[in-house]
Amino acid sequence: MDRIASDTETDDYEQPLLYRKRDDGIKRAPVLCSSRYGLALLSCYGFFVAYALRVNLSVAMVDMLRNSSSSTNVSGSVCPRHTSPSRPRHNHTASVYDWDSETQGWILGSFFYGYIVTQIPGGYMARKYGAKWLLGFGILGTVIFTLLTPVAADLGAGYLIAVRVLEGIGEGVTFPAMHAMWASWAPPLERSRLLTISYAGAQLGTVVALPLSGQICFYLDWTYVFYIFGAIGLLWFFLWALLVSNSPDTHRRISETEKTYIKASLKKELSPTSAYIPWPSILTSVPLWAIVVAHFSYNWTFYTLLTLLPTYMNDILGFSIKENGMLSALPYLGCWLLSMGGGQLADYLRETCLFRTVTVRKAFTIAGMVGPAVFLVAAGYTDCNYILAVVFLTISSTLGGFSASGFNINHLDIAPSYAGILLGITNTFATIPGMVGPVIARSLTKSNTIADWRTVFFISAGINLFGAAFYTLFGKGTVQPWAVQRVNTE
């Protein structure tokens, strides 16, 4: 059968030119009101919900504690505490708990113990049974357990940990399922744009959830953080169930022009059989392991800051719960904006400037991992210069947005037919930092000194640099032969 060349055969081949030849004679479908961009926006909303439910505990935790260095009610911080808001707080009706720093670390990291379990199964089930309902029910499960969080916290830390694990199990299928769906929906030369719109919901959810959680804690109490975001998640599930289809073939409102365009642009990339999965080739693929290492390394920094930045803002920089969420969100606002712009730039470089896909992926990965490492280390040396600390942390996370068009979508470049499974594999390894990162960070910061946190920043930066170097050496940008060749299983 016809297939596109592998990396080993055509390392110097201009992949954008290859795609251009393939698209000759194919009528481009309009972007405005298209089903594929509608899917991108609705999946963006879905990842907004997923990450809002994931990170809201990080802010609420600051207000859930009593007699702890993390409590803004009773204790000071390393740096002079900022002036308290003049308006009284109205969180006295909610329970508070006596959890030490080790227990806090386990609570914050417990989500990822469930999250890691369903990564590979999620990719497999999405390929075999379809991604729509798998992703939909996965996030719905997370919504339901989020609504039960206040009850679980009252029952004890063990119950809260169990609920967070169950939330992770539900949310673990989301990225593999969405990658599997994009394998059928994303034309190659629109891949960076569509996927960055879709996955930018993760940063957007963080941007909104962190400050809004702080406001909710300030004016209401921490329990409403989980009720309000849970309700937002229920609305998303209704829209997802009503408007989304697994593929262009089953979509009820897609135009024939768009359906023809998508199917024609993907016809030489997808495997001719859906039953066979080349597990030996997948597990021994060096380009895949390059993504694994990069994904693991990037997530170490991302998850450490995601779960502990509100604590750092409170314990070290001395910001109140109301200020905390706003300032903790700034890094992710920058990341969201840059990931959106980066997707447009990446596809422009590939389609218009004819840059090789592998060159674009590596350049964006380097910018998205080396830059954050430099500014993260710099943030550790700002001492009590609040403005400079926030600026450096914001620049660090903002530059990380480049990686959204780097290794993060490279699965679809090397094996679109198995993208969900590949993302399940890489995300399994990339979940480990979420499990152990907060625990290690809290164990290193028991004294809550600037030097302690500087060590945490150094470790994260070093891991980031290693991941960028490994991916630069071994990453690829073309479809691997095992991903498109017909395999005789008889």
How far, in Å, CA of 490 to CA of 488, rounded? 6
In this model, does residue 27 exceed pLDDT 70? no
Mean pLDDT comparison of 238-252, 303-317, 324-338, highest-scoring range: 238-252
Do the beta carbons of residue 228 and residue 45 sit within 8 Å? Answer: no
Tell me which residue has tokens 């024609």: 264
Tokens representing 398 are 């903002």
How far, in Å, CA of 310 to CA of 58, rounded? 6
Q: What does the pLDDT read at residue 189?
A: 81
Give the Cβ contact number of residue 186 at 10 Å.
26
Mean pLDDT comparison of 9-23, 235-249, 385-399, highest-scoring range: 235-249
How far, in Å, CA of 223 to CA of 276, rounded? 47
- List the one residue out of 39, 384, 395 whose CA is nearest residue 190: 39
Q: Per-residue confidence at 466, pLDDT binned at 50, 70, 90?
A: very high
Lowest-confidence segment of 180-184, 275-279, 345-349, 374-378 by average pLDDT: 275-279
Q: What does the pLDDT read at residue 461?
A: 94
Return the half-sphere exposure (C-beta side, CA atoms, 13 A cut-off) of residue 203. Answer: 26
Q: What does the pLDDT read at residue 291?
A: 96
- List the one residue out of 236, 233, 217, 477 whose CA is nearest residue 346: 477
What does each C-alpha distance from 13 to 25, 126, 166, 266, 337 come to in angstroms? 22, 32, 46, 19, 32
Q: What percentage of the chain carries pLDDT values higher than 70?
A: 86
Task: Report DSSP state, residue 446.
Answer: T
Tell me which residue has tokens 């390894």: 429
pLDDT tens digit string along 43-69? 999 999 999 998 889 888 878 887 444
Q: What is the rounded average pLDDT for all residues in the chain? A: 83
Q: Per-residue confidence at 84, pLDDT binned at 50, 70, 90?
A: low
Please tell me the total number of residues recorded for the chain in this structure: 490
Alpha helix (H) residue ranges in 383-418: 386-399, 410-414
Alpha helix (H) residue ranges in 247-385: 256-266, 279-283, 286-315, 321-351, 357-379
Q: Which residues have a Cβ under 8 Å from the Cβ of 262 and sit 6 or more positions away?
A: 29, 36, 184, 185, 187, 248
The CA radius of gyration of the chain, in Å to the nearest whole number, is 22
pLDDT tens digit string along 324-361? 667 777 888 888 889 888 888 988 898 788 889 899 99
pLDDT tens digit string along 393-414? 889 989 998 998 899 989 989 9
Return the half-sphere exposure (C-beta side, CA atoms, 13 A cut-off) of residue 22. Answer: 23
Q: Per-residue confidence at 40, pLDDT binned at 50, 70, 90?
A: very high
Tokens representing 309 are 């930045």
In this model, does residue 166 exceed pLDDT 80? yes
In this model, does residue 458 exceed pLDDT 70? yes
Report, at the CATH architecture level, how domain 15-79+100-483 is classified: Up-down Bundle (1.20)
Q: What does the pLDDT read at residue 487?
A: 43
Q: What does the pLDDT read at residue 475?
A: 94
Q: What does the pLDDT read at residue 2?
A: 35
3 vs 369, more confident: 369
Do the beta carbons of residue 334 and residue 397 sit within 8 Å? Answer: yes
3-class SS shares of the chain: helix, strand, coil, % to 5? 75, 0, 25
Tokens representing 48 are 């907004």
Positive or negative, the CA dihedral 199, 200, 203, 205 is negative
Q: What does the pLDDT read at residue 137?
A: 96
What does each C-alpha distance from 475 to 118, 172, 200, 290, 365 come to in angstroms? 25, 25, 23, 5, 10
pLDDT tens digit string along 108-155? 888 888 998 999 999 889 888 889 999 999 999 999 999 999 999 999
Bridge partners of 97?
Answer: 65
Tokens representing 149 are 């969080």
Q: What does the pLDDT read at residue 343?
A: 85
How far, in Å, CA of 72 to CA of 314, rounded? 7
Across 102-111, average pLDDT = 84
- Largest Cα–Cα separation, the chain: 75
Q: What does the pLDDT read at residue 485?
A: 60
How far, in Å, CA of 106 to CA of 129, rounded? 34
Across 34-39, average pLDDT = 91
pTM for the structure as a whole? 0.77
Across 464-474, average pLDDT = 96
